[in-house]
Chain A
Amino acid sequence: MSTRTFKIFRGDKEGGKDVDYNVEVEEGMVVLDAVHQIQRTQAGDLACRWNCKAAKCGSCSAEVNGKPRLMCKTRLDDFPEGETISVHPIKAFPIIRDLVTDVSWNYEVNKKIPPFTPRKDANWVMYQEDMDRVQEFRKCIECFLCQDVCHVLRNHDKKDQFYGPRFMVRVASLEMHPLDGLDRTKLLKNEGGIGLCNITKCCTEVCPEDIHITDNAIIPLKERVVDQFYDPVQMIWRALTGGNDGNKNPGLQQKD
């Protein structure tokens, strides 16, 4: 058994500082184990969120050596021996205390997205090949790491203009559900701010569930916005037909 040094942010919205803790390390240990050991033996009040310890709940997001990670999935032996491991709260959201941040904004965004609304003629027969695409999006564990790395939210703090990658994935799961009957394209273009995403794929890189956020969710949704609002042929068609673009499903079929 060896010892390792951790530099952990301690503080709240008034400010704070990094504090060093030495931790007894055993084989296979993850960062969250170290945080728990510190709580047990050195700092009983060290605040952190966690639940499942198995990368299934998305509670223990933090920035480990500057990289957004789930603490329960970040092995200590991923770092060179002797290196101090820093653990900071995720940066894109306001700090509450130590490693805990105020992520309530995300829950407010989710409320703005109209829920699954089955088509009136839904017969509930669905095939696995249609499910595969939607199931990818539904793997999301809401760790909000994608929100944390998104430049629009992290660097430009445009939370009032962009829903962020997590909710592009949420909208994609609804829009690509074979039996959903709503069209959320206008919402994506306006309040959702999908145009602000410039496809740097940082969100995809950081996703612990390996969801292809940019390629499979955001880009197809962007295409849908373009088709509906910027495609001259479709604009003429809508003018002639009285602006009926309510049925998104023909468009859905074409995008396969």
Chain B
Amino acid sequence: MSDDVKYQTLEHDVIVIGAGGAGLRAAIECSARGLKTALICKSLLGKAHTVMAEGGIAAALANVDAQDSWQTHFQDTLFGGKYLNNWRMAELHAKEAPERVKELERWGAVFDRTPDGKILQRAFGGHTYKRLAHVGDRTGLELIRTLQDKGIHQGIDVYMECTVTRLLKDGDRVCGAFGYWRETGRFVVFKARSIILATGGIGKAYKITSNSWEYTGDGQALGYEAGAELVDMEFVQFHPTGMVWPPGVMGLLVTEAVRGEGGILTNSKGERFMEKYDPKRMELSTRDVVARAIYTEVKEGRGSPHGGCFLDISHRGAEYVKKKLPSMYHQFKELADVDITTGPMEVGPTCHYTMGGIKVDADTAASRVPGLFAAGECSGGMNGANRLGGNSLSDLLVFGNRAGAGAADHAKKAPAPKMDEAQVNDAAKEMTGYFERPNAENPYQLHMDLQNTMHALVGIFREEKELSAAIGKLEDIKRRAKNVGIAEGNRMYNPGWHLCRDLHNMIVCAEAVTRAALMRKESRGGHSRIDFPKYDDHWGTHNIVIQKQGEAMKLAPCPVVQIPELKPLVDDKKAKEAK
């Protein structure tokens, strides 16, 4: 046992947890400002879920539609978010996204071009103008590779395949992080003056998801347990188009770019059903609307053979489809034996993105815990009740950059971190404990039970009865999780052991989603209540904020942060949409 509390200590000014777009961009900013920066990721560098972002980066460059402006982008984002967004975040995002995209190009990104040699932009759901800078349907890969290649030449210390399990505190402030190397299972402590969480989403708490194994809500849970607040956790985005067949790839993302390029949705009767749900925007309505439409069509018996609907792009011609949607072409050809240049795909909703996350200050990305920052999907506020496609990659860049600057400024002023050995020992004991439980609960089984619970009871459509049942089930899952463990293998690269700890984070997030969903008695964006199908005026101006109080989750409605100068823009959009 004495071996187990041995650990390595690494010291940096700033540590960034998570190496997708937000984490990479944040680390680049910190190190550019002269700080010793660590970038820690659970996978190898360049494998984060950002690579799965396909459609593009939303930025009002106005290269294709000259009328576009930050104001319109801001309005679209608030309309998409059903006016629950943090206005300041949406403003900064709309204003700064174009510069972040141009910066990527200066760092070597190679976007598709307009005939006059500018960055090409495509249409996407909820965006008034053609706004998404893209590279075919692999924009995320281009973004992550560009940042990766920029970052490694800038003196960032990259720690790959390392999982952080606890944030360490010195009084109120964070002073470091405890984790393990996946390869050896040995422990490591990172000392730091500032910590940026950029760990992405919580998709793995759901059964059908586009997310990979990494998305277990680590940042949200780490932040919550360190005293940060969570906001908007009830808003989970089900992407309307995931693959529904074969079973092994159920949930795998089918980019919105298919609809952006003219793809048409039909049901088993051949009806273009979006006419019923959003005749104005049709297939390019916001994601929440399209996901609910497909779900409803299937539920009412008009689904495709494998329980989805049809999405057809073949009318654009084989050459065009292969050029603009190459990875979709290959994905369907190789995994589903479907040639999308000659016939339709079958698609259905898949858990894709969490609008909610750690509540942060818009300008600096600071949480309320001194020294703790958050950016990207694990932060909340930017997207309100529903995120527009394309606003994620731009969010990563804009707020990754701002979190980097905020964390760097803080680190320059903060005193040296003081470690508390007891916290480290406690964290180590938690990890070794998973091997010491006779008749332990199987982590894979418990994970499936969690996913089934969330899928069945806290999915696209929700109601009080089911949400209450989910709370009961989650209590049971929490109790079982105390006895989760693994008998096989040792600490060397042991995914079963890793899952034991990841489950803890997923359960924290699942509970936050469920409790917030129960509290919000209305339907809005990514939260649809069968028992409260309409908008509610009170809830339309309030976010739900969650904090840890003892062992309990405390929820409270909190007024949306509005900005008087932006009010005319918002009122203008509301008036337009009311017509």
In the bound complex, do residue B493 and residue A51 qualify as a contact, i.e. CB atoms below 8 Å apart?
A: no
**Is A19's beta carbon under 8 Å from chain B?**
no
A98 to B111, CA, bound (A): 39
Of the residues A33, A51, A114, contact of B213 by C-beta under 8 Å? A51
Of the residues A49, A111, A125, contact of B153 by C-beta under 8 Å? A111
- Nearest A residue to B336 via CB reads A28
Instruction: List residues of chain B with CB under 8 Å of any chain A CB.
Output: 43-49, 51-52, 102, 105-108, 110-113, 115-118, 120, 135-136, 138, 141-142, 145, 149-150, 152-153, 158, 160, 183, 212-214, 245-249, 252-253, 327, 330-331, 334-337, 442-445, 448, 486, 488-490, 492-497
- Nearest A residue to B45 via CB reads A107
From A128-136, A215-223, A227-235, A243-251, give the one contacting chain B: A128-136
For residue A111, which residues in chain B have a CB less than 8 angstroms away from its CB?
Answer: 152-153
Given contacts A26-B247, A177-B108, contact A56 B51 (CB under 8 A): yes
In the bound complex, do residue B153 and residue A131 qualify as a contact, i.e. CB atoms below 8 Å apart?
A: no
A57 to B44, CA, bound (A): 10
Q: From residue B109, how far is it (CB to closest CB) to chain A in Å?
A: 9
Contact with B along A170-184 (1 / 0, CB 8 A): 000110010010000
**Is A82's beta carbon under 8 Å from chain B?**
no
Given contacts A45-B489, A45-B497, contact A124 B105 (CB under 8 A): yes
A127 to B118, CA, bound (A): 8
Contact with B along A193-237 (1 / 0, CB 8 A): 000000000000000000000000000000000000000000000
Given contacts A52-B212, A177-B110, contact A98 B44 (CB under 8 A): no
Residue among A41, A75, A115, A134 facing the most chain B CB atoms (10 A cut-off): A115
A98 to B489, CA, bound (A): 11
For residue A238, which residues in chain B have a CB less than 8 angstroms away from its CB?
Answer: none
In the bound complex, do residue A135 and residue B153 qualify as a contact, i.e. CB atoms below 8 Å apart?
A: no
For residue A118, which residues in chain B have a CB less than 8 angstroms away from its CB?
Answer: 106
**Is A59's beta carbon under 8 Å from chain B?**
yes
In the bound complex, do residue A54 and residue B110 qualify as a contact, i.e. CB atoms below 8 Å apart?
A: no
- Which residues, 135 to 151 on A, are CB-close (under 8 Å) to B? 135, 138-142
Given contacts A27-B246, A115-B149, A138-B110, contact A39 B47 (CB under 8 A): no
A14 to B335, CA, bound (A): 36
In the bound complex, do residue A126 and residue B442 qualify as a contact, i.e. CB atoms below 8 Å apart?
A: no
Contact with B along A35-61 (1 / 0, CB 8 A): 000011101111111111111111100
Apart from the given pairs A45-B489, A53-B248, A128-B120, 9 other A-B contacts in the complex at a CB distance below 8 Å: A28-B245, A44-B444, A47-B495, A51-B214, A52-B52, A56-B327, A107-B158, A125-B118, A128-B112
Of the residues A29, A43, A128, contact of B246 by C-beta under 8 Å? A29
**Is A189's beta carbon under 8 Å from chain B?**
no
Given contacts A51-B212, A56-B51, contact A96 B43 (CB under 8 A): no
Q: Count A interface residues, CB 8 Å.
A: 61
- Which residues, 45 to 89 on A, are CB-close (under 8 Å) to B? 45-59, 73, 75
Of the residues A33, A44, A48, contact of B442 by C-beta under 8 Å? A44
Q: From residue A88, how far is it (CB to closest CB) to chain B in Å?
A: 16
For residue A52, which residues in chain B have a CB less than 8 angstroms away from its CB?
Answer: 47, 49, 51-52, 212
Given contacts A39-B444, A56-B52, A110-B152, contact A141 B494 (CB under 8 A): no
A142 to B108, CA, bound (A): 17
Q: From residue A222, how far is it (CB to closest CB) to chain B in Å?
A: 23
**Is A116's beta carbon under 8 Å from chain B?**
yes
Given contacts A28-B245, A115-B108, contact A128 B113 (CB under 8 A): yes
A180 to B105, CA, bound (A): 11
In the bound complex, do residue A54 and residue B493 qualify as a contact, i.e. CB atoms below 8 Å apart?
A: no
Give 16 pairs: A residue, B residue, CB < 8 Å, sorted on A.
Answer: A12-B492, A28-B245, A29-B247, A39-B496, A43-B488, A44-B443, A50-B213, A52-B212, A54-B335, A55-B331, A56-B51, A110-B152, A126-B117, A127-B117, A128-B113, A138-B142
A131 to B252, CA, bound (A): 29
**Is A153's beta carbon under 8 Å from chain B?**
no
- Which residues, 153 to 193 on A, are CB-close (under 8 Å) to B? 173-174, 177, 180
- Which residues, 10 to 34 on A, are CB-close (under 8 Å) to B? 12, 26-30, 32-33
In the bound complex, do residue B489 and residue A28 qualify as a contact, i.e. CB atoms below 8 Å apart?
A: no
Q: From residue A131, how far is it (CB to closest CB) to chain B in Å?
A: 6
In the bound complex, do residue A115 and residue B150 qualify as a contact, i.e. CB atoms below 8 Å apart?
A: yes
In the bound complex, do residue A96 and residue B149 qualify as a contact, i.e. CB atoms below 8 Å apart?
A: no
Given contacts A100-B493, A125-B117, contact A54 B249 (CB under 8 A): yes
- Which residues, 92 to 111 on A, are CB-close (under 8 Å) to B? 96-98, 100, 102-104, 107, 110-111
For residue A27, which residues in chain B have a CB less than 8 angstroms away from its CB?
Answer: 246-247
Given contacts A45-B488, A50-B212, A125-B118, contact A28 B248 (CB under 8 A): yes
For residue B138, which residues in chain A have a CB less than 8 angstroms away from its CB?
Answer: 56, 139
A48 to B496, CA, bound (A): 11
Q: From residue B438, how far is it (CB to closest CB) to chain A in Å?
A: 16
Of the residues B145, B213, B248, contact of A138 by C-beta under 8 Å? B145
- Nearest B residue to A141 via CB reads B141
- Nearest A residue to B142 via CB reads A138
For residue B145, which residues in chain A have a CB less than 8 angstroms away from its CB?
Answer: 138, 140
A168 to B335, CA, bound (A): 29
Of the residues B44, B113, B444, contact of A127 by C-beta under 8 Å? B113
Q: From residue A171, how far is it (CB to closest CB) to chain B in Å?
A: 12
Q: From residue A146, how far is it (CB to closest CB) to chain B in Å?
A: 16
A32 to B495, CA, bound (A): 14
- Nearest A residue to B323 via CB reads A132
In the bound complex, do residue B43 and residue A33 qualify as a contact, i.e. CB atoms below 8 Å apart?
A: no
For residue B136, which residues in chain A have a CB less than 8 angstroms away from its CB?
Answer: 135
